[in-house]
Amino acid sequence: MADQKEKLLIICGNDNDRAFLTRSLEEAGFAVAVAVDGSQGFDMLQTEKPEVVLLDLHITGLSAAEIVEKISADDVLKIIPVIILALPSDMDEVQKCITGGADDYLVRPYSPTLVKAQVREFQNIRRHRLEERELSKLRLREKIEHDVEIARDIQLSFLPRELPKLDHWELAAYFAPAREVAGDFYDAFTMAQGRRVGFVIADVCDKGVGAALFMALTRSLTRAFAQQNYNLNLMDGIGDVLGPGEGRRRKLPSIGSMALQNAVALTNTYITTNHYELNYFATLFFGMIDPLTGSLSYINGGHCPPIIVGSDGMVKTTLKATGTPVGMMPDATYTIGEAQLEPGDILFGYSDGVTDARNPAGKMFTEKQMLALLQKNPAKTADELLMRFKTALTDHIDVADQYDDITMIAVHRLPVQTTG
């Protein structure tokens, strides 16, 4: 048989008419498929997708009107022109089919010349409809791409234009979305009237536009609550802290600790109260440093544990979870952890897009490789550390599609300068 693009379909229960039309059209160079009843004809129409259908009003199974209705309701099939085959006495039924979506009709006795001319005309009409549909799809795709580009620009505006600049400290960040928009984010800003610096790295549980919207909500709430000045202790256990190698203990809240805890707890409360049914949540690490002493207070809401590396390249500690992901559980408790950054130390925070990065064979980058990269030839600056990871991840991913958003942040306490 000829190529599918050249095919016509005749659905006709009358043997003589079917044979006459088939012979006339094949002699004119058309490829013809035939069906003897409406049910068989509609099945063939779905599989063959002919250029034109000649549909007899007098068929068994599905009626001509039912077939026309099904074609009109199908986005793929409705570009196929339908010519009704009728008797002179069938004009009322023909009109119903035309109203339902059929394109034209032929009346017995059929003129081979008229049949061929009409089929050729409707072949051209089908091609025009196909072009219009493709153009419409192109316009829609362009509109979606334009809207996504706007969404990407808006999302990027949520990331800090520049990181805080501190004497004896440096902060650096790296952000590489896997798609046009991302579920990861990072942030850094001053707190407690400028006496503390907060930094956040987070990862929403999904990808795409929905995750990006949730990212924007979480980032905005976290920063807004963190930069508020609270005079009341809104959480029971505000004095609960977790130090390295220690259990929970009580102490007076340090400067900014209330803002730190409120930022995470109130964000969780807002999301679980107003958006719980969306089933979105974010793993989040929120750290707060005292630039004068190097003390670090933090909450880790189920995020990849940041790592503190000494100037000798050795891992000093990992900052493990002190609570659940934000938005996962109503009334979740978030405990403040504590650590210390000594001169020369670098805190490295990352999203799981680092360890889950996959090469063309599907092999992940892994935590083992990440730790080896951290400890080999200690980085002298925060930027150097992140560029080292960027290079290693780019080489690992190679020509594969990026599997997940990749976000990293580095906080470096500069070594003490000695005078000779």
Judge if 399 and 263 occupy the same domain: yes
The reported pLDDT for the residue numbered 419 is: 58
**Do residues 397 and 283 both lie within one domain?**
yes
Global pTM value: 0.70
CATH number at 389 reads 3.60.40.10
Instruction: Kindly state whether residue 376 falls inside one of the protein's structural domains.
Output: yes
**What pLDDT is attached to residue 153?**
81
| Any domain includes 93 | yes
Q: What is the mean predicted confidence (pLDDT) over 385-402?
A: 95
Same domain, 95 and 170: no
pLDDT at 21: 95
Quick one: pLDDT at residue 242?
Answer: 53
pLDDT band at 188; cut points 50, 70, 90:
very high
pLDDT tens-digit profile of 235-280?
433 444 555 544 554 454 567 788 899 999 999 999 999 998 888 9
In this prediction, residue 1 carries a pLDDT of 37
Query: Which pLDDT score, from 0 to 100, does residue 418 have?
Result: 64
CATH number, residue 118: 3.40.50.2300
Same domain, 287 and 400: yes
Domain range enclosing 110: 4-135
Q: Calculate the CA 277 to chain-centre distance.
A: 19
Judgement on whether residues 93 and 192 belong to the same structural domain of the protein: no
Per the structure, the count of domains in the chain is: 2
Same domain, 246 and 282: yes
Looking at the chain, the whole-number percentage of residues with pLDDT higher than 70 is: 92
- Based on the fold, state whether residues 245 and 303 are members of the same structural domain: yes
Q: Kindly report which listed range (232-241, 272-281, 309-318, 333-342) carries the lowest average pLDDT score.
A: 232-241
Does a structural domain hold residue 419? no
Residue 253 pLDDT: 53
Torsion of CA 223, 374, 296, 233, to 10 degrees: 40
